[in-house]
Chains A and B, each alone.
Chain A
Amino acid sequence: MDKPFIIAGKELKSRFLLGTGKFGSKEILRDTIIQSGTEAVTVALRRIDLNLNEENILFYIPKDIILLTNTSGARNAKEAIRIARLAREAGYGNWIKIEVINDCKYLLPDNAETIKATEVLAGEGFIILPYMHPDLYAARALVKAGAAAVMPLGSLIGSNLGLEMKMMIKILINEIDEVPIIVDAGIGVPVHAAQAMELGADAILVNTAVATAADPAKTAKAFAEAVISGRAAYLSKTANQSFMASASSPLTGYLHDQ
């Protein structure tokens, strides 16, 4: 029996969170959300292009899906706080994925600024899911600051490299019991999702690998299945690894036995 996946008192049946960036069209996005079975998607806030009259992305996200607005574009805690407050004012909830990045090459999160922003926003009643570099001290500080989950990166955003941070994520899984651990960024193929779940992550978040696939809806379904099997493997406490062989068949009754 699995324990429920709960963020800030809200139980999510799906352990697969989806990002909504980079999709070829809003119709594809809608189909992909449905196929993924996700219950929470990330969105971003940007200036409106006054010359475009673009249709709002929210019309393509089913109403019962939780919107997790990210603070992308924020270079420090102050800017992240400003974006979070704007998001809440828009009237679509108060779930925020804090993302503070001031490095353009690797898009690595600034843990110190993220902790500052978490402290302020959690104090204002926001539900905060911070994107973070998997560092145990930072994760503890985020929990103390009031984070509702922590979201360590698997590898660089959009890189599809998988769990380059595997060992550090495992330490967070082992040591942080208070809030869910959601592996975010770098998950490129379903096997990476399964690996994260087998490690004991509570959930994963994928965007680029799904959105930029030739068939995003089908890819999302494949990820969703990998999440389920990875979780089942974690719960079943799969067997240990060994650097020596161990025969699967009996070592007795051979035809050449005398």
Chain B
Amino acid sequence: MKLIINGKILTYPASLSLQSYLEQQNIDLEAIVVEINEKIIKRIDWPRVNLNEFDVVELISFVGGG
């Protein structure tokens, strides 16, 4: 299954929940926001949202800015 994550095309095994995908990443999940196909996915929904072929996933967090 191909996913477009933060602008990059990546291949993953089929039927992957958002929650399990995120847990596999080496990132701090505390202050991140997830958008799939321009729709915000609430944290509470992470376990029951599945990633599908060609989903456009954005993983966003805070950085310094003016």
Spell out A's residues near B (CB within 8 Å).
Answer: 19-23, 29, 42-48, 50, 53, 55-58, 67, 69-70, 72, 82, 85-87, 89-92, 157-158, 185, 205, 207-208, 211
Contact = CB atoms under 8 A, between A and B. Distances in A.
B59 A48 contact: yes
Nearest to A69: B62
A207 B4 CA distance: 34
A27 to B, nearest CB: 13
30 contacts: A19-B65, A20-B64, A20-B66, A21-B66, A22-B66, A29-B64, A43-B64, A43-B65, A44-B64, A45-B61, A47-B7, A50-B5, A50-B6, A50-B26, A50-B59, A55-B28, A57-B62, A58-B62, A67-B62, A70-B65, A72-B65, A85-B40, A86-B40, A91-B31, A157-B66, A185-B66, A205-B66, A207-B66, A208-B66, A211-B64
Nearest to A23: B64
Contacts of A185: 66
Interface string B43-64: 1000000000000001111111
A47 B33 CA distance: 10
A158 B31 CA distance: 28
B30 to A, nearest CB: 6
Contact of B60 (A47, A58, A92, A158): A47
Interface in B24-39: 25-28, 30-33, 35, 38
A177 B42 CA distance: 39
B31 A92 contact: yes
Nearest to B32: A48
Interface residues of B, number: 25
A21 B63 CA distance: 8
A72 B28 CA distance: 23
B31 A89 contact: no
A91 B31 CA distance: 8
Contact of A21 (B31, B58, B64): B64
Most chain A C-beta atoms within 10 Å of own C-beta, residue among B35, B65, B66: B66
Contacts of B32: 48, 90
B30 A56 contact: yes
A121 to B, nearest CB: 14
Contact of A43 (B5, B7, B43, B63): B63
